[in-house]
Chain A
Amino acid sequence: SQQGEEDPQALSIQEGENATMNCSYKTSINNLQWYRQNSGRGLVHLILIRSNEREKHSGRLRVTLDTSKKSSSLLITASRAADTASYFCATTNDYKLSFGAGTTVTVRA
């Protein structure tokens, strides 16, 4: 079953702009992970944020986590055409890894 919900479902931006997508979840979590998927194949791990962390950075990526609101956001700064992909959040509770439906990001050149 899907626990997370991403918002928006789709996002189209100009190269160089920032892209922000949100994820909401329902139950308590150990950590939350963001993944990227190109062309419907394997998922590439982007970043993991633990339940006791509030913000994390990795290169052009910034992730926030608000456990009181049960939500997370992923910000991609200075987007590039290569960032075009689907992005999924996944929550971990014990062993259970639950995914949202994803946000499809299109970066226009």
Chain B
Amino acid sequence: GAGVSQSPSNKVTEKGKDVELRCDPISGHTALYWYRQSLGQGLEFLIYFQGNSAPDKSGLPSDRFSAERTGGSVSTLTIQRTQQEDSAVYLCASLRSLGGNTIYFGEGSWLTVV
């Protein structure tokens, strides 16, 4: 697509429920990132994909968080048994290839856990 697309744009869920956030990167972009941003804070790295593999998932805050990428394209971030502290904007970004290229961000998915 023309840009990085994320869905849903907004999600309100009850504590303890599972949520899935989707990211459609720019076509042909091999690298994909997930970041989290709490209100008024900077961006917190979660996970990096190169193709379908995730060589760096060091930022996932707990085992309730997982992510996968299929076909070198769409990625899904899953949060199980959501907690209130999971409330944040989850941002996805993609990059054509490593080395000196612009990284493009989606509009984010705003998650509110009540």
Contacts and interface: CB of A to CB of B under 8 A. Distances in A.
Interface of A: 1-2, 30-31, 33, 35, 40-45, 48, 50, 88, 90, 92, 94-102
A97 B33 contact: yes
Interface residues of B, number: 28
Interface of B: 31, 33, 35, 37, 39-43, 45, 48, 50, 55-56, 89, 91, 93, 98-100, 102-108, 110
Nearest to B4: A42
B interface SS class: strand
| Main SS class of interface, A | strand
A97 B33 CA distance: 9
Given A42-B91, A95-B48, A102 B100 contact: no
